[in-house]
């Protein structure tokens, strides 16, 4: 990812978009549908490569939305697409701890696959990651 993504590993840009902050807060409250709506509006206005960040977070969140509704195939496919987008980003982009989000989502996805569609209801919600934001968003 190049510098037009709005950040480097050094830290967040001076001013984060309000919709990014709101979308991350929604994700962290497990309001995945609302997060999708918020970040989609931001993603659609963006022309730079930071779109990958927004779309990756959206897809990971939609994956957990599908999981909550018992849709195994939707959860696995959508989370995987989100991870594919996020893996190409720096460990921190736009102040978001992308590296941590990727690692925690990969662990959750692995657990979902291990459970399979027959035991999906046994997924422990504590495996759902939260998104770190800002200086304390360590990886």
Extents of the domains making up the chain: 17-121
Residues 34 and 26 sit within 8 Å (Cβ to Cβ): yes
Residue 100: per-residue pLDDT = 97
CB neighbourhood size of 138 (10 A) = 10
Beta-carbon contacts of residue 74 (< 8 Å; ≥ 6 apart)? 62, 63, 66
Q: Report the alpha-carbon distance of residue 13 to residue 79 in Å, rounded.
A: 27
Residue 5's SS3 state is helix
Question: Residues 44, 21, 32, 102: is their CA dihedral positive or negative?
Answer: positive
The CATH code that applies to domain 17-121 is: 1.10.3450.10
Residue by residue, pLDDT tens for the chain (139 residues) are 333 344 434 444 557 899 999 999 999 999 999 999 999 999 999 888 899 999 999 999 999 999 999 999 999 999 999 999 999 999 999 899 999 999 999 999 999 999 999 999 999 999 999 999 875 434 3
pLDDT at 55: 96
Query: For the CA atoms of the chain, what is the radius of gyration?
Result: 14
- Residue 138 is predicted with a pLDDT of 40
- Using CB atoms within 10 Å of the CB of residue 121, give its burial: 0 to 12 exposed, 13 to 18 middle, 19+ buried: exposed
Round to whole Å and give the CA distance between 60 and 106. Answer: 10
């Amino acid at each position: 990812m190049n510098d037009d993504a709005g950040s480097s590993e050094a830290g967040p840009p001076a001013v984060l978009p309000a919709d990014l902050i709101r979308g991350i807060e929604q994700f962290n409250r497990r309001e995945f549908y609302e997060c999708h709506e918020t970040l989609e509006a931001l993603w659609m206005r963006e022309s730079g490569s930071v779109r990958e960040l927004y779309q990756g977070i959206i897809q990971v969140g939609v994956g957990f939305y599908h999981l909550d509704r018992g849709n195994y195939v939707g959860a696995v496919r959508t989370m995987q697409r989100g991870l594919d987008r996020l893996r190409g980003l720096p460990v921190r982009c736009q102040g978001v701890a992308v590296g941590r989000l990727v690692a925690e989502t990969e662990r959750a996805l692995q657990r979902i696959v291990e459970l399979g569609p027959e035991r999906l209801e046994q997924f422990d919600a504590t495996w759902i990651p939260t998104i770190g934001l800002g200086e304390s968003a360590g990886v």
